Amino acid sequence: MKIGFIGLGIMGMPMAANLVQAGHDLVTCDRQPKTIDGARAVAAPMDAARDRDVVISMLPDTPDVNDVLFGSGAAAGAMHAGTVYIDMSTVSPVATMDFARRLSVQGVAMLDAPVSGGDLGARKGTLSIMVGGSKEAFDHCLPLFQAMGSNIVYAGESGSGQKMKLVNQAVGALNLLAAVEGLRLASASGLDLETVLSAVSAGAAGSWMWSNLGSKIVAGDFSAGFMIRLQQKDLRLAREFFEQLGLDAPGTALTYELFTQALEKGLGLDGNQALYRLWE
């Protein structure tokens, strides 16, 4: 397919490269001059959107997506009826539904398709991708998702991909806090940490976070799989979304507060398991 790809960051770059690898015709666009072998680079989002079957964006936050779509030199004006626009950034579900409505007026179908799996998953093409929007557009774009990820979930109507991503991030952050707090208690009380890791993982308190990041904490490995600053951003989005729904969310309020403290302590570029170091 003829694809425009906007946003060549630590995630977007390998995702776009995997699409080229899969044989697609790519035009790429980034604020910085970056190129991918086999793809043509342009400076303005509108030039990455013109005469393309599918336009994909992978951007830091909600205002960036708004700018790329509707700002100066923006992409929306260059999309024609029948273009599918896929936003793979993790951004506000409410803003996403608004973007989709505005684009539908000009005959453009939008999919929200945030990912998880980090830059390693992006490079290996093993991302988890949660997709919201029309089922027809999803089916049409499935080969593209399969070039970038290995666990593709159709989550439902527009915004559902972003909503599912925020559920996932809120749950994961609390599981991580659980692992951090449990290991702090174990360490301070003089237990053998390897024994605790193994005993807890076998039972009702087991989790992916405990097994994977707990063992990194015990090994003193605070390198980034998923960075503190991104976890904090996702929790901000989750918290905003809880508020928009009028829900009391004490767990997410707490993890947002703690990850914000970790960011302020200068741990932003460390792995999210470095939440442990907030108490050092």
Catalytic residue list: 165
Distance of alpha carbon 40 from alpha carbon 22, whole angstroms: 16
Nearest to a second copy of 18, 160 (CB atom) = 160
Mapped onto helix, strand or coil, the DSSP state of residue 184 is helix
Piece in contact with a second copy (CB under 8 A), picked from 16-24, 44-52, 75-83, 250-258:
250-258
Select from 110, 179, 237, 267 the one that contacts a second copy (CB under 8 A): 179
Piece in contact with a second copy (CB under 8 A), picked from 5-13, 28-36, 48-56, 163-171:
163-171
Neighbours of 136 (CB within 10 A): 10
Query: Binding of a second copy at residue 133 (CB under 8 A)?
Result: no
Nearest to a second copy of 45, 214 (CB atom) = 214
Distance of alpha carbon 152 from alpha carbon 140, whole angstroms: 13
Mapped onto helix, strand or coil, the DSSP state of residue 33 is coil
Query: Binding of a second copy at residue 60 (CB under 8 A)?
Result: no
Asked whether the beta carbons of 104 and 152 are under 8 A apart, the reply is no
Query: Binding of a second copy at residue 100 (CB under 8 A)?
Result: no
Burial class of 53 by CB neighbour count within 10 A (0 to 12, 13 to 18, 19+) = middle
Query: Binding of a second copy at residue 223 (CB under 8 A)?
Result: no
Select from 4, 9, 125, 172 the one that contacts a second copy (CB under 8 A): 172
Judging by DSSP bridges, how do beta strands 115-116 and 127-132 pair with one another? antiparallel
Piece in contact with a second copy (CB under 8 A), picked from 51-59, 71-79, 99-107, 189-197:
189-197
Query: Binding of a second copy at residue 279 (CB under 8 A)?
Result: yes
